Structure 1
Amino acid sequence: MSLTNAPRFETERLILRGPEMPDAEPFIAFSADKERSEGFGYIPQRDEAWRWFALNIGHWYIHGYGYLTIEDKETGNPAGICGIWNPEGWPEPEIGWVVYEGFEGKGIAYEAAVAVRAWAYAELNFTTLTSNIVPGNTRSVALAERLGATFEREYENVQMGLDHLYRHPAPEALL
């Protein structure tokens, strides 16, 4: 059962849905994996990763959007998270993504991000989105650029330090 009022929608290979309690364990495992989570926010302490999971649930209640769980249709397993993030201190709403171990290199983040961006533009009436990417995170830069986002500026992220802001195309540019 979803812990939020998040929508549920499907793509060819994925189900995007609100977080459920069984999704906490895969997120906690991802957070403790320094190599995979460094560009998102490495959280080696289990209790702190659990708090971030709960924070996302609260984010949904405050903003009406947040990170969705990416569920692989074939296996039914959580494959990552993708959604719109805008906590206190962020310059503006951001589309972000994370793919868990065993799901990388399959186009899952791209498929999820396209669906989430379309939802944000059509249902939430956003006119723009950003992706905030830690310098050196070449895989996220490549995905942002594949999505049509372009580098706009550097800024100091309150959580991550120096960050690069990529601007996504406006809805009308995607038609």
Structure 2
Amino acid sequence: MSLTNAPRIETERLILRGPEKADAEAVIAFLRDPLRSEGFGHIPLRGDAWRWFTMNIGHWHWHGYGYFVIELKDTGQAAGICGIWNPETWPEPELGWVVFDGFEGKGIAREAAERARAWAYDDLGFTTLTSNIVPGNSRSAALAQRLGATYERTYHNENMGEDELWRHPGPETLT
């Protein structure tokens, strides 16, 4: 059972849905992995990673959007998280994505990001989105480019330090 008001949206291979208690272990493992979570925000302590998981649930209730869990339709496995993130101090709403260990290189992040972006534009009425990418995260920058985003500027993110802001094409360009 979802812990949020998140809709359940689908693609050919994926279900994007709100977080459930059963997802906590996969998200916590990702956040605690120093290599996998480097560009997202490594959280070494389990209790702090658990608090991030529950913060995402609160983000859904506060904003009406947040990170979906990416579930594979064929296996039911949680493969990552993707969605719209905008905590206090963020310059503007961000389309973010990560896939868990063993799920990279399969087009999952792109498929999820395209669907989450369409949902933000079509259902929430967003007219623009950005992605915040840590300098040197070449895989995320390459995906942002494949999604049509362009580098706009570097700024100081109080949580991550130096961050690049990538601007996605608006809904009028994607239709």
Verify same fold: TM over 0.5.
yes
SS of equivalent to 2:36: helix
Q: Aligned letter for 1:43?
A: I
Q: Shift of residue 32 of structure 1? A: 1.2
Output the CA distance in 2 between the equivalents of 1:4 and 1:24: 14
Q: Cα deviation per residue 1:16-48 (whole Å; 9 max; x = unaligned)?
A: 000000100000111111111000000111000
Structure 1, gaps ≥5 residues long: none
Q: Distance in 2 between matches of 1:3 and 1:139?
A: 31
2:154 paired residue number: 154
Give the aligned residue type for 2:164.
Answer: H
TM-score, length-scaled by structure 2: 0.99
How many angstroms apart in 1 are the aligned matches of 2:85 and 2:45? 22
Do residues 79 (structure 1) and 79 (structure 2) align? yes
2:42 maps to 42
Residues paired across the two proteins, number: 175
1:138 aligns with 2:144: no
AA partner of residue 40 (structure 1): F
Aligned ranges 1:9-88 → 2 under 5 Å: 9-88=9-88
> Quick one: distance in 2 between partners of 1:40 and 1:68?
15
Q: Distance in 1 between matches of 2:74 and 2:100?
A: 15
Deviations 1:120-155 (A, max 9, x none): 000000000000000000000000000000000000
What per-residue deviation string (whole Å, max 9, x for no partner) do you get for residues 72-100 of structure 1?
11211100000000000000000000100
Q: For the residues of structure 1 that align with 2:29 and 2:123, how far apart are their CA atoms?
A: 32
> Using the alignment, how far apart are the partners of 1:74 and 1:101 within structure 2?
18
Tell me the TM-score normalised to structure 1 length.
0.99
Q: Secondary structure at the match of 1:36?
A: coil
Q: Percent identity?
A: 73
Q: CA RMSD in A?
A: 0.5
Q: Is residue 120 from structure 1 mapped to residue 120 from structure 2 by the alignment?
A: yes
The offset of 1:158, in angstroms, is 1.2
Distance 2:144 2:64 in 1: 24
**1:88 alignment partner AA:** E
Q: Which runs of 5+ in 2 are unaligned?
A: none
